[in-house]
Copies of this chain bind each other. A is one copy, B any other.
Amino acid sequence: MTPAPGADHRKQPRRRGAALNSAIFEAVRAEIAESGYAALTMERVAERARASKASLYRRWPGRAALVLDAAYDVMPNDSSVPDTGSLRGDVLALMRQIVRLLDGVLGEAMLGLLGESLQNPEAAAQIREFGRGNMVRTMREIVGRAVARGECDASLVTERRLEAGPALLRHRVLFSGLPVGDDYLQEVVDDVVLPLFGVRPARRPETSPEG
């Protein structure tokens, strides 16, 4: 009844380094896809990856850091800044990019991590870097190009205005629980972002703040 210590099931050679890392990341994502972030357990990840808990803890101090890396691992780095020729097109493209990114395992991971960071302030800083800044930074670039094109006036570009679009998008994702449809994105762009930068929206010409 005592399991023979030599009774080993593996035949494939022992994985190390990067190969093991990948297997672990895969397991993390599978667990998140199956049961969600909250149900994710170091123990189950280890079992699923056919790794030992020690190997997990040797690499990451805890669940959050592990999920963080597993998410980064699939983060597409093709998040090039859109350039459609118009501010409206660029902002919409950026928002669609983000929405697409958040749909699926990566989104589940990010929501879970955000939840974690809200409860555990010490881990928050690290996690915060994860998805943050990027969107505002991209907004800055997009708007900068619009200014260069003469589409909007440089004096209108302030930090808060750049944040408005991202903030509304996150607001929707975090608080409504509803899917983010393209209608919503267009409303954000046409009702808020474009007016803030003095650009007349294409869709609702009557809604210009310059009454």
Contact = CB atoms under 8 A, between A and B. Distances in A.
Interface in A164-210: 164, 166-168, 170-171, 174-177, 187-188, 191-192, 195-198, 206-207, 209-210
A25 to B, nearest CB: 12
Given A158-B187, A195-B209, A174 B36 contact: no
Contact of A69 (B1, B119, B128, B161): B1
Given A21-B2, A171-B170, A196-B209, A118 B118 contact: yes
Interface in A119-176: 119-121, 124-125, 128, 132, 153, 155-156, 158-161, 163-164, 166-168, 170-171, 174-176
Interface stretch (A7-15, A78-86, A90-98, A109-117): A109-117
Contacts of A39: 2
A35 interface: yes
Given A2-B35, A198-B211, A118 B120 contact: no
- Residues of A in contact with B, size category: 35 or more
A119 B168 CA distance: 20
A110 B166 CA distance: 22
Contact of A115 (B119, B158, B161, B187): B119
Given A167-B167, A167-B170, A161 B59 contact: no
Interface in A20-52: 21, 34-39
A161 B196 CA distance: 10
A35 B168 contact: no
